[in-house]
Amino acid sequence: MPELPEVEVIRRGFGGLIVGKKIVKGEVLCEKSWRGEVGNVVGGRVTEVLRKGKALLIEMDYRNKSGNDDGASGNDDGASGNDGLTLMVHLRMTGQLVYVGKKRFAGGHPTEGFVHELPDKHTRVIFEFSDDSHLYFNDQRKFGFVKVLLPGESDGFLEKLAPEPENMSEKEFYERLQRRKNTSVKAAILDQSVIAGVGNIYADEGLWAARIAPMRKAGEVSEAEAGRLLKGICEAMSKSIESGGSTIANYVKADGTRGDYLLKFAKVFGRTGEKCERCGGVIEKTRVAGRGTHWCPKCTK
């Protein structure tokens, strides 16, 4: 599954491509990958591309449903129509978005669909824009989905998300960790209701930065340690976004290139057997919370 920086990089890439475009046709090729009514989408114009946690949110404005692209007619005063509809896209493990127009951009799990003619056997949903460009949602394993959220409609997944690292105070993070005090600290920070957007890579990197062993109980982490952990997570994510994400094999940027965070900045993740740059110890890989976990036993409590 992509982590927050990968989804943020994809959001930024696609935002510059589809904002302002009007959907004139929607086609669902796999019911499992779609939730909602296609008719609610047709006629909507993309106003912005947002992100919450690991979910992409494509915001749409329905004020102009007359079919005119110049905005000269239709309900431009916002007095009627479905103003504020949202398309929520969750890529999960193998989802991808591919934009095909004057330019071709793709983000997500890399397959031949990035460069080959679409739709293909993995295409699940197709959106056609008024300028004859297309946005394809492809998904090999069908774990991802696109969901229509009508004005005022909420989503259970989004409602349960905690604040993201950069939007959380040290005190709040410490208090949220205590809700999972009997689990390992790594399990706690992978819980999206404790802190949103943190996956396996940034959990390991943040714990290393804070010198906290991933198998320690969350309830044993002091408030000061929680502050260092939050800071470490934020710094790792920020560097990853600047580098285009932490792609190893699965996730790539919106322009089809791979992120290089792991090569440039990762301190422990993917570095099993290498020397710890902080203390010279050997980085080990173990299993915590059901996930492969990288840490340095020498300089980590």
Asked if residue 253 lies in contact with residue 241, where contact means CB atoms within 8 angstroms, the answer is no
Q: Give one DSSP letter per residue of 150-214, joined into a string.
A: -TT---HHHHHPPPPGGG--HHHHHHHHHTTTTSBHHHHHH-TTTSTT--HHHHHHHHHHHT--T
Among this protein's residues, is 2 annotated catalytic?
A: yes
Among this protein's residues, is 264 annotated catalytic?
A: no
Cα 149 to Cα 60, 73, 74, 86, 156, distances in angstroms: 10, 25, 22, 5, 11
Cα 104 to Cα 16, 119, 147, distances in angstroms: 12, 14, 24
Q: Where are the alpha helices (DSSP H) in 45-184?
A: 156-160, 170-178
Query: Which tokens is 128 given?
Result: 């056609």
What is the bridge-based pairing of β-strands 145-149 and 284-288? unpaired
Q: Using CA atoms, how far apart are residues 128 and 38, in angstroms rounded to an integer?
A: 12
Q: Using CA atoms, how far apart are residues 265 and 273, in angstroms rounded to an integer?
A: 17
Q: Choose among 2, 1, 4: nearest CA to 167.
A: 4
Q: What is the CA radius of gyration of the chain?
A: 21
Q: Which of 3, 6, 164, 225 is catalytic?
A: 3
Please work out, in degrees rounded to the nearest 5, the angle formed at the alpha carbon of residue 108 by the alpha carbons of 115 and 141.
95
Q: Which of 12, 52, 92, 291 is catalytic?
A: 291
Question: For the CA atoms of 58, 63, 66, 72, what is the dihedral angle to 10 degrees?
Answer: -110
Among this protein's residues, is 291 annotated catalytic?
A: yes
Q: Which of 21, 22, 54, 124 is catalytic?
A: 54
Among this protein's residues, is 165 annotated catalytic?
A: no
Q: Choose among 179, 166, 187, 181: nearest CA to 231.
A: 166
Q: Which residues are catalytic?
A: 2-3, 54, 291
